[in-house]
A and B are shown apart, each in its own frame.
Chain A
Amino acid sequence: QQQVRQSPQSLTVWEGETAILNCSYEDSTFNYFPWYQQFPGEGPALLISISSVSDKKEDGRFTIFFNKREKKLSLHITDSQPGDSATYFCAASGATGGNNKLTFGQGTVLSVIP
């Protein structure tokens, strides 16, 4: 049973466009949602995160929108750059807290065409 689902599996956008990556979850106790970015041949690295008390978190060109009622969130990458081409993982953890309880989605592969 996939507790955290991401869509689409892969996404291609032109340079300068906004890329929208979607994530949904099932466990209503999840309250912390980090997004990790992974380049080929490297490990994932934390990009941005949000807690369930907020509905939006912005960091430069990266914004998370969070809808607690629908158990959905999305990562928006504005003015996409070729250097943003990577795999993006949505993750979630719950009331018990801690990274050892992180559940990852299956990832979205983003390609940005110059």
Chain B
Amino acid sequence: GGIITQTPKFLIGQEGQKLTLKCQQNFNHDTMYWYRQDSGKGLRLIYYSITENDLQKGDLSEGYDASREKKSSFSLTVTSAQKNEMAVFLCASSMPDSNERLFFGHGTKLSVL
């Protein structure tokens, strides 16, 4: 089996700050994803990447950058943290076959003061 590791587990930032979240997977999966989870709103796709150095925008990409420099890692940057923002950011990976299951990390909980 494999594992997805997200760091940090908790992230506290200041308004306007640039914040980076990291994700590592050892499944050897090609595709990786970043989702945002807000209470009562489900999961919304921010960015995904189908291979190393590939980036694709999801529905919620504005205000975020992403980077896939290695197959095993995918990072997400909040370009300017919004005051009182609070959300959980979930990283996931899958093989590229249609409808292959997603494997999620445990999430990074972001709070902005």
Contact = CB atoms under 8 A, between A and B. Distances in A.
B43 A46 contact: no
A99 B104 contact: no
A68 B102 CA distance: 24
A82 interface: no
Contact of A100 (B40, B42, B48, B103): B48
Contacts, number: 62
B99 to A, nearest CB: 5
Contact of B90 (A32, A44, A49, A100): A44
B56 A9 contact: no
A106 B92 contact: no
B94 to A, nearest CB: 5
Interface in B83-113: 90, 92, 94, 96, 98-107
Given A99-B94, A100-B31, A100-B56, A32 B99 contact: yes
A66 interface: no
B45 to A, nearest CB: 7
Interface residues of B, number: 27
Contacts of A25: none
Contacts of B43: 44, 89, 104
Interface string A61-99: 000000000000000000000000000010001000111
Nearest to A41: B106
B90 A43 contact: yes
A45 B104 CA distance: 7
Contacts of A105: 42
A97 B100 CA distance: 10
B4 interface: yes
A42 interface: yes
Nearest to B49: A100
22 contacts: A34-B99, A34-B101, A36-B102, A41-B107, A42-B104, A42-B107, A43-B4, A43-B90, A43-B106, A43-B107, A44-B90, A44-B102, A45-B103, A45-B104, A49-B99, A93-B99, A99-B31, A99-B33, A99-B102, A100-B33, A100-B56, A102-B102
